[in-house]
Structure 1
Amino acid sequence: MVEKTEAIKAALTRAMQVAIGEHADVLLVNVEDFAGAETEINAAACPVIFYGFYQESRLQKEKHPAAPYFYRKNTAYFTVPFRLEEIRVVYRDILAGRKIENPAMMLLGKRDAREKLILQLLHDILPGKYGCEQGLETARREFGISGTIEKVRYALAGLHAKQQVEKSVKTITGRTVIPGVFCDIEGTLIVGGKINASVLKKLREYAATKPVTLWTGGSLDEAEKELTKEGIIDFPLVSKYGFEGCHVEVVMDDLGEKEFKERYHIAPQKYIKI
């Protein structure tokens, strides 16, 4: 089974090399190998192309550690199977500086990574457990927490409890304006079960120069089903509550601006009532 998996990886890597050029300056990363490649990814000045067998939305939902990296200006993710021409186009866009970075998605990834690290440290920092000392050092370095095992665990548990209540990325951004366009789905992009063509056209126009993120105050699963049914899979989807208390650049919504602000406690620089 392992040999078969490695053979598939080798074949995919070869196909991607054919797509963008045998000697192209690019880092190809299977998401399954992310942990071992993270240092190289962070240091890469060239385009980084991720690929895997799951949809990007699933990796995001499962808080895969590679997911936040997909939204950087020098990266992209492709689900297998993919068309080689798509690889070529995206690779050239990255080289030409046309890939739009999405800070909102990167912030969500940072929040999720922080949450996972706290849980990992609570798992590791136990008397006599292998990795405990390393965990204590990580807690000190990443969170400024030091002291006895009991004291560190107590502080980490407090952080974890706080994150369960404060799901918003506001704890990271403060009053900094998050760039990009944030568009509501039900009643805005999808009205009465049908795509609002004028809104979709506007989003595609925005996407040429700004990151576009779809969000909902309802069920993410239901929203994803609606979007997939309509063939809209090129914009990331998030919960509005992940940005509660934040300042964002542009909001498109069918609610009146006052009602929107009162309901979600989000402050847009520009509000477009649909």
Structure 2
Amino acid sequence: MVCVCVCRSVMQSCSSALCILILLISTVTTVSKSAVGPVKVKLHDSATLSCYERCSGLVRWTVFHKPTDALAECDQTSCRSVKEGYQMIHDQYLKGNLSLTITDADFSKRGRYMCDCDGKDICDVRLQIEPLNTTVQIKPGGSLVLDLDIPEEMEVLYSSTGSGGPSSGQMCTVIIRSLQCKLEYKHRVSAVLQLRAVTPSDSGVYTVMDARNEEAIHIYTVTVGSAGGSDVVKDDHLDLDTDKRAALPAWVIVLISVLVAVIVGLAVKDIKLLRRQIQ
């Protein structure tokens, strides 16, 4: 790049230092145009990573740490989903809308995505997943189980709400190796962190953090109640409240059993009579 300074004052040319400063400002401005603010969605919602540029060649979306591993791509002829769950629309591509749609955004899809036109980076977007929020009520002496939703280094932070509880701050750091499971079990298996023998002083907010990206993954609001209380767990995607319907009285169950036996006996008798008539 050539830096040209035009000065109409006493100075006929700009200094080298001023030219370098102008060059740096121009470079930073160019980079910031390609950067887009983070996209944050709820777990398992669809996410659209926006990118608006004119490109007459091949457009490819990749994950930042895997620049040669295409997710979806478009050219003047068509668009292709290279990996399942990633889509681009050809009509939008022709109009300069190069956005990528992720149909099911889970924690494994968090991260930084890059869009390039004929190998030149033009957009840089980070995908974030909103943290799960869970409310838990536990009897004293029970166990608090925290799901560790990602196989990465995590921190568990604690903020006390109970009187005389432990001081707030980082509880522990958890390092989990990647779980290797068959596809049919992938979404049914997760690692957990268990805090046993809880007391009312353990009531508080427990936050499971992605240590590397400093993102909250799961926030638990925990209340340790009296011994007569019941365990209740509620969150954005879960409702495990106990069934409040009263159990049937014993005499009703006996009466139903007798009626069923009578009906079965009559049915068997009718079948035998029908067979005799046929014979």
Is the TM value for this pair above 0.5? no
TM-score, normalising length: structure 2: 0.24
Q: Give the strand-richer structure, 1 or 2.
A: 2
Q: Which has the larger radius of gyration?
A: 2
Higher helix share: 1
- Relative to the length of structure 1, the TM-score reads 0.24
